[in-house]
Structure 1
Amino acid sequence: MIKNILLLITCCWILLGCVSSNTAELDISQSMQTVPDTAKFIDPDYYIWGSSMVEGSDGKYHLFYSRWHKSYGHNAWLTHSEIAHAVADKPLGPYKHVDIGLPARGKNYWDGLSTHNPTVHKFGDKYYIYYMGNTGDGKVMKGFNFSHRNNQRIGVAVANSPYGPWKRTDTPLINTSENNNAWDALMVSNPSVLQKADGSFLMVYKAVAKKAPLPAGGPVVHLMATAKSPIGPFTKHVDPVFTKVGEKFPAEDPYIWLQGNQYWAIVKDMKGAFTDSGKSLALFNSQNGFDWHKANMPLVSKLEINWQSGKQKVAHLERPQIWFKEGKPAILFCAADETREHSYNVHIPLIEIEKLK
């Protein structure tokens, strides 16, 4: 009897050890370093929003970012955004604009008038920009132009070099579902993609349903999709992720990655659904990439930037994108602003700056 009890206890300890070894701990907030005052990409003539960086075979660092002219106002991201390209000698910058990666190409294309919120990857020997594109009437409005907002779709552009040329498709990579009851019946946008250990690809994307009155629709959710190739076709999974009971729009802008045997995501917490800090950036993890849970240490950042010259509170800190060094998160790129009159991108080191030189 005693031997059986000891055997049962031993088995339980082994099982607990296996479980704990598969449950990694990650506290992004504690790895965030002081931000050099120069680690800021700003242009006096343009709003700058989401940015994503990849290291090129030329040894340079290539930043792809959303921009639109200040004269149009903040909400012109819907109608006049373009994905531009900047280059730096060091991963924290300073970055210098060099060209337009995905310019407007005519309203008859599904992404012909606006390209926005890029996330860039190198898979194999090619570069891939996943992005939101749309078309519409082209009118700048103080509020939302719903002819553009509801035409948001997801695309991918492919090139052999970060300098392009970028090959775009005549149809979206991810389109809305034909079923009017689907979670993504109204519009889809803001993709984030990772490559799994087996070589396949996992995407998370923002979706809006038609379950609430149009033109806004709702609720706003996030869905997963999988593919064997970086250019698809992607198979959608029907269950929303990053949700909270009673909330119609709890999260936005998820960035996903695989680290060790865990999947991780940083999301924009819209108003404190997942942290005690109100609007913030929050951390999630998953064992399989489909079932997501709030991490044990969920707070990534409040609405503040810890510059070398001092802390600064901001109105928005969004569009998290990570650049990795030797497989570990090294820089967190975020869109930021103090008011809606102007915006920029900040590059937050997650390891000591000396290690990035």
Structure 2
Amino acid sequence: MRNLIFFFLLIISPFTLYLIAGNNSSKDVSYKISLGKVYHTAIFHDSPHGMYSVWGASVVQDDDGLFHMYYSRWPKHLGWAWLTDSEIAHAVSESITGPWRFVDVALKRRGKEFWDGWCTHNPTIHKFDGKYYLYYMGNTGDGKVMGTPQKEVLNWSHRNNQRIGVAVSDSPYGPWMRSDKPLIDASANDDDYDCLMTSNPSLCQMPDGRYLMIYKAVGKKFPLPQGGPVVHLAAISDSPTGPFKKFSKLVFHFEGERFPAEDPYIWYQDGKFRAIVKRMETAKNRCFLMQFESDNGLDWKKSEHFIVSGLNVTFEDGSIVKLSHLERPQVYLHNGEAGYILCAADSIDSNNVRQSFNLQIPLIIEKNVSTF
């Protein structure tokens, strides 16, 4: 009898280990992410006459298969005036890689008296339960454009009035219902990390049905009007329209740095929360896209394969272009799988003026699963 039991254990133990490994393998999936070749139709300039500067964009597909892009734009003749004059526009395409056709302005200027009445910027679009949710940064202020087409100068009244909002619609064409109060406001306590301003929301639905937001924040530890440090925080809600509970633990933090990162995009895939973030290494005067991961959405660590991309982009004809900036990553998910990344990009022309556009870039994801 003892020998029979021993033989049974020899047979069942490997199977038991297999079940254990199978049930937990999703926690062990690490990604190596890189950028594929860009189609020339996937370079979005907004208009053939170059009337607008174009920046961050986010895409959703409707029930009929049409793609809808929401992007930041502002009149080019004003210079790099995103902080005072950006609006969120809407374009459509039959393909995620374009070509795109301008349709309308989704979130336009609506009056200085509103918290988001003068500027709307940095959109990220989601569809939950048949409704469309357009998250964004909005601000108001004195309306004065600072700087020139050759030089950017921040308007601090607009910068420090940045707050996070969401507009909701039953259709990707609107109308969009905007709130008279921010979704994520600055905290009242001057010791909090987000007491000066909140911006750049990124959101995903958690496995338990709740909604996780990671957002950029600035506090008042350093002298005003600049303030600082610039950090990232997390918040969770039972609803895509809040209220959100804030958490004080820093996200994407690098000890001793006042501005380590910005522009995260978060999503949940293969048992983990994933993030692609713009890394700011000011001491080395360089920026690149990096990858983080988390088991719970609050505690984040650098991924095993950390660097996603520098500033070089390869096009379909094999040409390689080094851009001045490649940022505002927004991942397009199809059936929960990351397939493309949209990035704001620019280059400097012969007159020392920034010429901006948005790229829709295939993602190459290699999955490495740890085993026993």
2:40 to 37, 41, 53: 37
The residue aligned with 1:203 is 213
Structure-1 separation of matches of 2:126 and 2:43: 21
Structure-1 separation of matches of 2:255 and 2:158: 29
Structure-2 separation of matches of 1:213 and 1:235: 28
The residue aligned with 2:145 is 140
The residue aligned with 2:136 is 131
Whether 1:65 aligns to 2:75 is: no
The residue aligned with 1:161 is 171
Contact 2:199–2:215 (CA under 8 A) maintained in structure 1:
yes
Structure-1 separation of matches of 2:364 and 2:291: 18
Contact 2:88–2:108 (CA under 8 A) maintained in structure 1:
yes
Structure-2 separation of matches of 1:113 and 1:269: 29
Q: Deviations over 1:254-273 (max 9, x none)?
A: 10000021000000011289
AA of the residue aligned to 1:166: W
The residue aligned with 1:170 is 180
Q: Deviations over 1:25-67 (max 9, x none)?
A: 11111xx321111111113111100000000123210000000
**SS in structure 2 of the partner of residue 71 of structure 1:** helix
Contact 1:270–1:278 (CA under 8 A) maintained in structure 2:
yes
The residue aligned with 1:254 is 264
The residue aligned with 2:301 is 293
State the shift of 1:154 in Å: 0.3
Contact 1:282–1:300 (CA under 8 A) maintained in structure 2:
yes
Q: Deviations over 1:134-169 (max 9, x none)?
A: 000000001100010000000000000000000000
AA of the residue aligned to 1:281: L
Q: Deviations over 1:248-289 (max 9, x none)?
A: 11100010000021000000011289xx99410000000111
AA of the residue aligned to 1:332: I
The residue aligned with 1:341 is 354
Against the structure 1 CA distance between its residues 164 and 21, is the aligned structure 2 distance closer, same or farther, given a 3 Å change threshold? closer
1:118 to 123, 126, 130: 123
State the shift of 1:327 in Å: 1.8
Q: Deviations over 1:218-261 (max 9, x none)?
A: 00000000000000000100111101111111100010000021
State the shift of 1:324 in Å: 1.2
State the shift of 1:213 in Å: 0.4
State the shift of 1:295 in Å: 0.3
Structure-2 separation of matches of 1:170 and 1:289: 29
1:149 to 154, 159, 169: 159
Against the structure 1 CA distance between its residues 21 and 232, is the aligned structure 2 distance closer, same or farther, given a 3 Å change threshold? closer
1:304 to 302, 312, 319: 312
Q: Deviations over 1:297-350 (max 9, x none)?
A: 011111111112311000100000011123211110000001352210000012
AA of the residue aligned to 1:117: N
The residue aligned with 2:106 is 101
The percent identity for this pair of structures is: 53
How many aligned positions are there? 340
AA of the residue aligned to 1:122: K
AA of the residue aligned to 1:285: E
Q: Which one has a bigger Cα radius of gyration?
A: 2
State the shift of 1:292 in Å: 0.3
The residue aligned with 1:219 is 229
Structure-1 separation of matches of 2:314 and 2:62: 29
Q: Which runs of 4+ in 1 moved over 4 A?
A: 13-21
Write the mapping of 1:82-93 to structure 2, written as runs, cut at 5 A.
82-93=87-98
**SS in structure 2 of the partner of residue 202 of structure 1:** strand
Contact 1:119–1:130 (CA under 8 A) maintained in structure 2:
yes
Whether 1:244 aligns to 2:244 is: no
Contact 1:277–1:302 (CA under 8 A) maintained in structure 2:
no
Structure-2 separation of matches of 1:347 and 1:226: 29
Against the structure 1 CA distance between its residues 154 and 178, is the aligned structure 2 distance closer, same or farther, given a 3 Å change threshold? same
Structure-1 separation of matches of 2:244 and 2:38: 37
1:191 to 177, 201, 221: 201
Against the structure 1 CA distance between its residues 72 and 289, is the aligned structure 2 distance closer, same or farther, given a 3 Å change threshold? same
**SS in structure 1 of the partner of residue 41 of structure 2:** coil
Q: Using CA pairs under 8 Å that are at least 6 residues apart, name the structure with larger relative contact order, 1 or 2.
A: 2
AA of the residue aligned to 2:68: H
Structure-2 separation of matches of 1:114 and 1:262: 34
TM-score, scaled relative to structure 1: 0.91
The residue aligned with 1:316 is 325
Contact 2:26–2:272 (CA under 8 A) maintained in structure 1:
no
Contact 2:122–2:136 (CA under 8 A) maintained in structure 1:
yes
